[in-house]
Structure 1
Amino acid sequence: MKKTNLLLICLLSALFINCEDNRLQPQIPLRDYEEQRAADNDSIISFLQNHYYNYEEFESASTTTRVSLTIDSLINATDKIPLIDQVIEHEVQVNDGDDNFISHTMYIIPAREGVGGSPSIADEVYVTYKGMFLDGVVFDESESKIWFNGLSTVRGFFETYPFIKHGVWDVDPSTGLIRHDGFGTTIVIMPSALGYYGSTSAPRQYAPLIFAIDLYTFAVADHDEDSVPTIDEDVDGDGHFNGSNDDTDGDGVPNYVDNDDDDDGILTIDEYDVDLDGIPDDSDQDGIPDYLDAS
């Protein structure tokens, strides 16, 4: 396993900066998000036009074999398919800190189709992965399978989950070991605002990132164990789970980590779906589910 937890550590470091260090060091303002978005996108487009990945290796590999991503220049490989001809574009809205939302483009390549379904951005995933900069330097990699808790990685990493399908597994009767087969692999090239942006603890500041993610299985996440899947606690469906629109009772605790979403004294788990019919209960039929209705 190589630097397995860097993805999570850098995210946490970006969020929780030591207060003493803040007093000792001058604070450097973050770059303008729109200007950085444009610069990153120009760099990414040029990269996509002039590089290819080892797609032939992915195509020929056994469905039980993990293929390590390599990316090379097209200069001496004019017969290869450039990345730009293989990508799917996905737009993500990034808050600049002043509640201005700026659209950032992720470029996604399904390198290998999995046989199962896809997780939501909030779910827990069992993966191997490789992280690179555009110049090919590998800054993080886990060759051993690892669980990531939903929403615990950089934004562009978990935004990729719906574009990967998981595989299947069984137990090898001769060894007792778990065997994984048919797992999907997706490559994502993302601007820096979906990665580490200006974090001083990041491997590089303001650097677009590349990840290859292999998905073996996943689990639907319920961060506060209130029986409501975390993905359904994004009330306005904007992909942001910590906004004021996702804090129904206004107590400063987002719904996805609040076990009483409407602060009516009744735990969400006791009023979400009491009759277990798969539909959130609405006792007074006012269109607001009981677990979000304090009246």
Structure 2
Amino acid sequence: MNRFFKLFIFIALAISAANCKKSDDDVVTVPIRDRGEVYLEDKIKIEEYLKNNYIKVAGEEITLDSITDKNTQVSIWDQQQYELKSIKLKNDEWKPVLVNNTTFKYAKLIDDVEYTLYYLVINEGGGEKAITIDSTYTAYKAYNLKNKVFDQNRTGMWSTYPTVPNGLMPGVAPEMISGYRQATTLMKAASQISQNPDGTFNYENAGRIIAFLPSGLGYFAGANLGKSYECAIFDITLISKLSRDHDRDGIPSIYEDLNGNGDYFDDDTDGDGVPNFMDVDDDADGFLTRDEITYEVIENGVTVKKLYEFSAIPFCPGGSVKKHLDNSCH
């Protein structure tokens, strides 16, 4: 099992493993700590790491190691070859919750902490930028703060977000943790890509960053790194990205961020708990969104159904929003 499955899966596995102990006295559970308190500790650990370790890049090979000679080794914090950047991020983990056998809503992980993510851009990349709900093909190498590798896949793998219930989107790949997924938006995919028969890629000028994740954007109470509440370092290469139509309603998901804030979960026109990019009937008027953006034309004497391009979807007469978002017409 890939180690980037969602945090709640790892917690479930940890609890399950603990329950297999010989007696109740032997059961080990991980206490859930305050996220803000843990982050303050993590930030200190990460900044100390950046000041006491160096990076060496030789072609495709990257070395992270502790400083033993201050005359020849410059800390990641002070080196100038790769600018050390930071960005403020919040945990964006959502998961589907089945309401009954046929309907679901999305629940957000309760986490109000604003995290500082430090990162180094090794290469910006020459292709398109990804968004957090794209499917991405990435290669990675993962370290703890002692520079020990705990996972890697240098060939690459597809991942997608979020988990799609009810089989709406075919070919669902595993999810990445929040910090990893958001880090992929800080670079661009490769400029030249060709796919091999085995599904891997040959590529040129792919984006590559080193991201230093506090545990709140990673595994938190999970124990992937050997123990809970551990920070992680990810060497990530973004090879390819694929835009999705998650609900297969004919509107690419990228166009369903109506307020343009980059959060695709807070756009829920009908207020049913399912965001528009996952909702097959955005305005709950009883007509599928796909049907509402379909029109008919005559080609060679035959009636053909087509989908409007997003920009061409009409408004209701006298309305101010596109017809699939207005339940007063259909």
Displacement of 1:45 in angstroms is 0.7
Letter in 2 for 1:192: S
Q: Are 1:113 and 2:124 counterparts?
A: yes
Provide the C-alpha distance between the structure 1 equivalents of 2:313 and 2:275, rounded to a whole number of angstroms.
19
Q: What TM-score results when the alignment is normalised by the length of structure 2?
A: 0.71
CA RMSD of aligned residues (A): 3.3
Q: 2:101 maps to which residue?
A: none
Question: In the alignment, which of 169, 181, 187 is matched to residue 193 of structure 2?
Answer: 169
Question: In the alignment, which of 36, 39, 55 is matched to residue 37 of structure 1?
Answer: 39
Q: 1:64 maps to which residue?
A: none
Q: Are 1:130 and 2:127 counterparts?
A: no
Provide the C-alpha distance between the structure 1 equivalents of 2:152 and 2:250, rounded to a whole number of angstroms.
33
Letter in 1 for 2:113: I
Q: Are 1:54 and 2:56 counterparts?
A: yes
Displacement of 1:287 in angstroms is 3.4
Gaps of 5+ in 2: 94-107, 163-174, 295-306
Displacement of 1:181 in angstroms is 1.6
Q: Are 1:261 and 2:282 counterparts?
A: yes
Displacement of 1:235 in angstroms is 4.8
For residues 184-223 of structure 1, what are the structure 2 equivalents within 5 Å? 184-199=207-222, 203-223=226-246
CA distances 1:110-131 after superposition (whole Å, capped 9, x unpaired): 1123121211111111111111
Choose 43-52 or 88-97, whichever is displaced more.
Answer: 88-97
CA distances 1:179-203 after superposition (whole Å, capped 9, x unpaired): 3222121111011110011136675
Displacement of 1:135 in angstroms is 1.0
User: Which structure has the highest strand share of the two?
Assistant: 2
For residues 243-282 of structure 1, what are the structure 2 equivalents within 5 Å? 245-271=266-292, 274-276=307-309, 278=311, 280-282=313-315
Letter in 1 for 2:72: D
Letter in 2 for 1:11: L
Question: In the alignment, which of 59, 65, 77 is matched to residue 84 of structure 1?
Answer: 77
Q: Which structure has the larger Rg?
A: 2
Question: In the alignment, which of 3, 18, 37 is matched to residue 6 of structure 1?
Answer: 3
Gaps of 5+ in 1: 62-66
Q: Percent identity?
A: 28
CA distances 1:222-258 after superposition (whole Å, capped 9, x unpaired): 222223333444455565555xx34332333333322
Choose 273-282 or 19-28, whichever is displaced more.
Answer: 19-28
